[in-house]
Structure 1
Amino acid sequence: MGCDGGTIPKRHELVKGPKKVEKVDKNAELAAKWKYCALSQEKLRRPIVACELGRLYNKDAVIEYLLDKSAERPNVEVASHIRGIKDVKELNLTDNPEWEGERRNAKGDRYEDMHCSMFICPVVGLEMNGKHKFCYLQTCGCVFSERALREVKTEICHKCGDPFRDEDIVVLNGSKEEQEKLKNTMEERRAKAKTGKKSKKTSGVEALSKHVDSKGSSESKSAPVNEENSSGSSSSDSAPGPSGCSKMVKPSAAVGSKRSIQDMDGKSEAYKSLFTTHSSAKRTKDQISNWVTHTPYHF
């Protein structure tokens, strides 16, 4: 049978089968992870930072996100675990000598290698393009390939020489299982930090209370001793001596009493005249002038 136009439909035009699953290009997926910021989707440029889950960001994008979290962004969920700038680490990357820049194929007459990366491993020389696993150290921020850390086992950073532990190694752009493992370690680390802060606060309050209690008890103990000493000294001063006459006690000058410079005998008259207490600085009522306010119409 034909249609109105005399055409004969084919089977694939009448029978619809299941939709084909669209396959994502692996090169495009790797470029999105290793060449673009996970938050702003812009090209990675120095300074580059990484979070505790191993995602790569531009430092400017992270700072803008922390300053204004209410702004609309395409991938806010990616950075939801970042509370402050201390939750990210600036990476110490090694430049690739074969990288010619973004405009190396401006005319379009050259073969463009999609796997060529801006950075490499300083130990093995592998390019950081997603084909090989790369890690960074939370202590210093240096980036190495997993092969370098596995083959050259050491507890000192290959690039800067700072010591590190296995717990400080974070995989960059790892799989879902690796990211879940990193997330669990991050939550445990933050929980330990909170408990440590609480214990420090409680210990500080207890030490302060003990110091106050000890100070109060020492003052209470020293109070009756002072009273006895004062009563004993007064009785000894008022008691008559062997000749039958009481001792005359001279009143001592108060501690910290101020003495006028004009009463000092060792100072010269020129030195005393520098101060306002000198007789030359004093004026009579006729010499004292009053402030006069002029109106804007007075000339």
Structure 2
Amino acid sequence: MNCRKMDLLTLNQFSVLLWKNFTLKRRQFFTSTLEVLTALVFPVMILLFRTLTAIKVVGPYNYTSHPINTLPSYLKNPEEWELTYVPSNIDVVTEITENMKRNLNISVKVQGFTSEMELEKYIKYDYGSRKVLAAIIFYCNFKSSSDPLPLEDQGMQIMMMEEVLIFSEPIFRFSDCSFIFVFLMCYAIASIFFAFMVSTFFNKGAGYQIVMEKESHCDVEKISAIIHSHIPDATVENFTGAELSFILPKEYTQRFEALVNDLENKQKELGIANFGASITTMEEVFIK
């Protein structure tokens, strides 16, 4: 008889170890899945906002529409617009540009730059460049400011504003705060979502687990009555084989000591071989 009891006890202990190992693996799976999903929330939200949110800033790539029955704004208010040219340190180029302005017979502003690099920096970084109508670039090998135009020159090129930016990769315009706003909004929403996930899956309903190994004469009803006398909201988690376990809500933490003392004093009477308490695992929280 004793040998048979030992074999049965060994089998029950082996079953408990298998169950705990299975529970641990499931907990690791749920934890890993939650971490991966949480990490993907922020970049996915950034991509969605960039796809769905149209950032429209008047500049080299976005122009306000004009009705065909009205004059464009650069003819209504020409003083707000400007004409740029390169190079500005050559007298003959400046003279040609000023003559062109007079022939246009509009009060458009004229601004010169010594090199194409300065012009590109102005268009990329200066918010006032959104009012540039065109850029005139003279391709001549001038050696001094007093040199005349050569008889055989390389010509000149007139480019609209968006054409100037083709020669180099466009850089983010500092005056455009739309992307920064979208970034901060996505970061805030992702942080709130992460805090909600933590409070929902790690705090809400989580508590402690008390596990008992039963003896042959274990009185489950008395054990349940004692536990509920100390912690009314305790629930039975497992009642199979030689194991009996309860989930104890964290709101009753101050009563745990009295419960443990009561169980220790009546351990033999209740038929408890041994017992222990631990924090509720992720698996129980998900099942609940």
Task: Please report the TM-score for the alignment, with normalisation by the length of structure 2.
Answer: 0.25
More strand per residue:
2
Taking CA–CA contacts closer than 8 Å with sequence separation of 6 or more, which of the two structures ends up with the larger relative contact order? 2
More helix per residue:
2
Q: Which has the larger radius of gyration?
A: 1
